Amino acid sequence: MGFVLIGDDGTDAAAPARREAARIPHVESIRRNAAAGRLVMSGPRLRADGSTAGSLQFFEVPSMVEMAAYLATELFHRDGIWVRHAILPFRIAPLPWAPQPGRPGGEAGPLHAFAVIARDGTDAEAPRRRLAVRPRHFARLGPEVAAGRIRIGGAILDMPDGAMVGSIIALALPDEAAVQDWLATEPYVTEGVWQDLRVERWRIGVQPYPPLPGSPA
């Protein structure tokens, strides 16, 4: 079982200083959780000017109990660096993912990517549309994962082990124009499965992550 944590930094003038003051303990917390096999990918979300907008973290843990324990010791949460956060139940697709930065065979430095956070429609036909288009979506994912253009992806759930209500994928593409070109031919977009999308710049940090579900150990 997995969860995604999306944290938003403040936008006031003192926000960058608050983040910097807590950065070292925050990185130490990330490293501990990665080494323990709980955190599988993490890094800051960035604005167009390169400043930090928040965080995006992927966890593989059994329940919200472990997420609550993480938040209780995470200084970005406790000290108000994240002025708001969301925790979404998330199931990573079992695909042969490339190693994350810091894993054997992965990048030695941070990886710049774009995280697409997409919500399905909320109409009565939304679940049927997703299931109907899902085979074409997965047929496209395989070659993109093999080429290293998708680094993680899966379904947002309405509750742990619940129904699929959206998706998150990380695209290792050169710029946002390339991301928009990629999305223009994605079946979940062209067939109206994803109806609320946002694209976030994301810098995936180097950590001792465990293997992603489905990837070679």
Architecture of domain 2-204: 2-Layer Sandwich (3.30)
> pTM of the prediction?
0.96
The domains of the chain are located at 2-204
Residue 205 sits at the vertex; the CA angle it makes with 203 and 211, to the nearest 5 degrees, is 120
- C-alpha 167/C-alpha 177 separation (Å) is 20
pLDDT tens for each residue of the chain, 217 residues long: 899 999 999 999 999 999 999 999 999 999 999 999 999 999 999 999 999 999 999 999 999 999 999 999 999 999 999 999 999 999 999 999 999 999 999 999 999 999 999 999 999 999 999 999 999 999 999 999 999 999 999 999 999 989 999 999 999 999 999 999 999 999 999 999 999 999 999 999 999 999 999 887 6
List of residues 6+ apart from 118 with CB closer than 8 A: 166, 167, 168, 169, 188, 194, 196, 197
